[in-house]
Structure 1
Amino acid sequence: MIGAVIHRFDEVTSTNDEARRLAGEGAVEGTVVTAVYQTHGRGSRGRVWMSPPAANLLFSVILRPDIPVQRNGELAFVAACGAANGLRDAFCLDVRVKWPNDIVVGSRKIGGIIIEAGSGFAVVGIGVNINWTEFPAEIAESATSVALEVGEIVDIEKAFQCMLASLNAAYLDYKEFGFAKILNDWRRLDCCVGKCVEIEVDGRVVSGKSVGVDDGGSLLVETNQGMVERIPSAGCVLRWDS
């Protein structure tokens, strides 16, 4: 069960680093690592994950799914559904998912997910802006937080517990019913379908309209030339007309 064992830290390099260490030592599936502050938090594609101390929710989950490592990307969809639904339950916000690994409210990012593989395990890292209300200039126009959306400072522990419960439910669905069940849930939360998008992939830019994701989780884009192009998630950057 996700959250049955929780390791809490005041400060770590990153919760993923600590989770990887624990997983290598045999920590059970569902073990969670959370921290008040990360000195070297990281996001997808090698980006730095910025978060001031005690303002946001930063945690990682150790999973040991019985799948080949090539399918670990499916866990990002599991985590996105769990995180989004947990926030929706906790704060009645219209939280959505943005392919491949973002959590958004309206046109602004409220959280993100990173998946890292190890020998016999995967670590799912999740960061959510909870009580951060003043952002650095480089993300001020694209980021939001729970506090900004609801108009007041909120209980981070409430968010944490709701998200753990929702993540656990999503992961159990994944193990029992497979990726198709998760994709159906994810599609209901998709913020981009039907909207104009621009994706950087393999040194080129693909522009068009998002028509959803295929059964493997790749983005489907109806290009300006009238063709539908399949875009795998690895290494992609998506911009969208919100």
Structure 2
Amino acid sequence: MSGSRYSDLERPPLSEAALNRALVHPGSLWTGVTVVESTGSTNADLAASALGGAGEGTVLVAESQLAGRGRLGRSWSAPPRSGLTFSILLRPRPPIATQGWLPLLYGVAAASAVRRVAEVDVRLKWPNDLLIGERKLAGILAERADDAVVVGMGLNVSLTREELPTGTATSLAVEKAACVDRDPLLRAVLREVESHYREWTAADGDPEASGLRSAYLAVSATIGRRVRVELPNGQALTGLATGIDLSGHLQVESEGERYTLSAGDVVHVRTAE
């Protein structure tokens, strides 16, 4: 079989009006949800809006993203309405030294929401890739725009095996999840993000006091695993992932030394390797 087995009716568009009715109300973090048919990058668009003074809680959803970017500059794309592609704009008040936790916070929230709504066992690969088993379900990218932070997510929902970009990716449809309806999934993710963000903000960004660090460790697929971390400088480090420090950095023990890594692409190493 080749191509998509889904028709346009089976991949319905999201309703901007319905999302705003459900999510935007007095006291809510979310101040407005915009749904566009296509764009180059929701992160780039929201970053430009942030520089123009857009407020915290702005959400931008694209039915099709033409120039999506992942971590380490990777590009990716998917058929229209086959996934959830959206970004949020935050203007965090906690000290900037604690804001490295924001993408991890988003990962915890997204994993919790997807697990609850889709009834699949979602775990996190450091820092914030959503996995089912060892296959990637979603990626998250956080970028700073002056005093704002834009966080984007790409979640594979109805993609077929043939539509997935690599053999290491998966989708809710492939995993036979209980829900492949993008509307309740998006609502659930945004509500979980709001809940975790409020707790983290109330604790002035402290990952221990807010419970964020323990929540992250509870859903981590990386801690306790042997890993190979491909570093931004082209080098690689192999060792045992032992923990997450108070800045959200990965701690790896290798040949008797402990390394603390703020960036890198993690590969979970099988014990036989």
Amino acid at match of 2:234: G
> Displacement of 1:110 after TM fit?
0.4
**Alignment partner of 2:118 out of 75, 87, 91:** 91
- Matched to 2:267, the amino acid is R
Secondary structure, aligned partner of 2:56: coil
Give the corresponding residue for 2:265.
237
> Gapped runs of 5+ residues in structure 1?
none
Shift of 1:232: 1.7
State the alpha-carbon separation in 2 of the partners of residues 120 and 211 from structure 1: 32
Structure 1 partner of 2:182: 156
Match of 1:217 in 2: 248
Deviations 1:24-75 (A, max 9, x none): 2322211100010011111111110222211000000000002455544221
RMSD: 1.9
Kept in 2, the 8 Å contact 1:19–1:62? The answer is: yes
Question: Deviation at 1:200?
Answer: 1.7
1:231 Cα deviation from its structure 2 partner: 1.6
Q: For residue 56 of structure 2, what is the aligned residue in structure 1?
A: 29
2:68 corresponds to 1:41:
yes
What's the counterpart of residue 78 of structure 1? 105
Normalised TM-score (structure 1): 0.91
1:182 correspondence with 2:199: no
Partner of 1:200: 230
- The residue number in structure 1 matching 2:195 is 169
SS at match of 2:68: coil
Equivalent-residue separation in structure 1 for 2:220 and 2:98 (angstroms): 20
Q: How much has 1:150 moved relative to structure 2? A: 2.0
Gap change, CA 1:130 and 1:213, over 3 Å in 2: same
Q: What residue is the counterpart of 2:14 in the other structure?
A: none
TM norm structure 2:
0.81
The alpha-carbon deviation at position 4 of structure 1 amounts to 3.6
**CA distance 1:194–1:204, change in 2 (3 Å):** same
Counterparts of 1:70-149 in structure 2, within 5 Å, are 71-135=98-162, 139=166, 141-149=167-175
Give the whole-Å Cα distance in 2 for the aligned partners of 1:3 and 1:134: 34
Aligned to 2:20: none
Write the distance in 1 (CA, Å) between the matches of 2:87 and 2:213.
22
**Aligned structure 1 segments of 4 or more residues deviating by more than 6 angstroms:** none
Q: Counterpart of 1:171 in 2: which secondary structure? A: helix
Unaligned runs of 5+ in 2: 1-27
